[in-house]
Amino acid sequence: MTTSPTPTATATDEKYRGPAGELVDPSTTVLSARDLVKTFGRVIGLDGVSFDLKAGEVLAIIGDNGAGKSTLIKAVTGAIVPDAGQVFLDGREVHFRSPQDARQAGIETVYQTLAVAPALDIAANMFLGRERRRKGPLGSIFRMLDKSGMKTDAGKSMANLGIATIQNMSQAVETLSGGQRQAVAVARAATFATKFVVLDEPTAALGVKETGQVLNLIQQIKAKGLPVILISHNMPNVFEVADRIHIARLGGCAGVITPQSHTPTEAVAIMTGATTLEKG
């Protein structure tokens, strides 16, 4: 297939996108992706996908395995570089070459794999990769870490998100439950994100009660005013927390709906291609 390099050209996506799917001017959104294309050899990962993330919303991206939801998220967080298309952050076009670029721009991602170092304590995990040094010569010459300061701030972040069950910041993460570990990862993302937080299947490895805790955290992040992109194929979770739901299908977008406009059953039907969204 051929793709057009200009954003104004027609993409495969320029059709009816569901009740919440109207694309808006990128200058009014936190994140806008336009006509993203990514191919892996002959496999088409993304076939001209566009979406918007608006301020303060939880946007869920659902889709069957291989529908392109992870590829879509990787393309806007620098984990892969799209072959064509544009990404706008706060109205300005960005080109992320690595996850570090996205992270520096204020985008934080939480992965399903409980990406915390088990033997390190909670405070160390919160600040992993961006440790703070002490002030004065102890920090600048001896490069000493500001351990107590980081511990205090880790405690504050956890408290801000209402994570009351974890008190001791010098507790090794391996002594925590799966849900608590994921809470640490989510708290880390919420603390350092300035633009938005991406949660990639954050509850896939968790039990029911722990899933509830993570969903609660998503609400807390939203309450802080930070938009969230949630990737999941757990319909009840998605319908509980999402404001809008982007349905990925076969590398494209099968529509954007809201929990009010459609039922979970209808969403699954659209996701699997049993029905399609119709105009009108």
Residue 145 contacts residue 133 (beta carbons within 8 Å) = yes
Taking CB under 8 A as the criterion, the residue among 4, 12, 39, 220 binding another protein is: 220
CB under 8 A: which stretch of 37-45, 50-58, 169-177, 224-232 binds another protein? Answer: 169-177
What is the nearest approach in angstroms of another protein to the Cβ of residue 49?
24
What is the nearest approach in angstroms of another protein to the Cβ of residue 179?
9
E strands present in the chain:
31-40, 43-53, 58-63, 84-89, 92-94, 107-110, 196-200, 228-231, 244-249, 252-257
Residue 224 contacts residue 52 (beta carbons within 8 Å) = no
Q: Which is nearer to another protein, 15 or 130 (CB)?
A: 130
Q: Is 238 in the site for another protein (CB under 8 A)?
A: no
Look up residue 169 and give its amino acid.
M
Q: Which is nearer to another protein, 113 or 263 (CB)?
A: 113
Q: Is 129 in the site for another protein (CB under 8 A)?
A: yes
Taking CB under 8 A as the criterion, the residue among 117, 260, 263, 274 binding another protein is: 117
DSSP 19: T
184 — phi, psi (to 5°)? -65, -45
Structure tokens at 234: 């757990």
222 contacts: CB under 8 Å, gap ≥ 6: 56, 57, 58, 228, 241
Structure tokens at 248: 């990925």
Residues 249-278 that bind another protein (CB under 8 A): none
Q: Which is nearer to another protein, 7 or 162 (CB)?
A: 162
Q: Is 164 in the site for another protein (CB under 8 A)?
A: yes
What is the nearest approach in angstroms of another protein to the Cβ of residue 187?
11
Q: Which is nearer to another protein, 157 or 213 (CB)?
A: 213
Residues 10-39 that bind another protein (CB under 8 A): none
Reference 206, options 222, 186, 226, 224; nearest CA is: 186
CB under 8 A: which stretch of 24-32, 87-95, 167-175, 228-236 binds another protein? Answer: 167-175
In terms of Cβ atoms closer than 10 Å to its own Cβ (0-12, 13-18, 19+), residue 226 is: buried
Q: Which residues bind another protein (CB under 8 A)?
A: 99-100, 103, 109, 111, 113-120, 124-125, 128-131, 133, 142-145, 147, 161-165, 172, 174-177, 183, 213, 216-217, 220
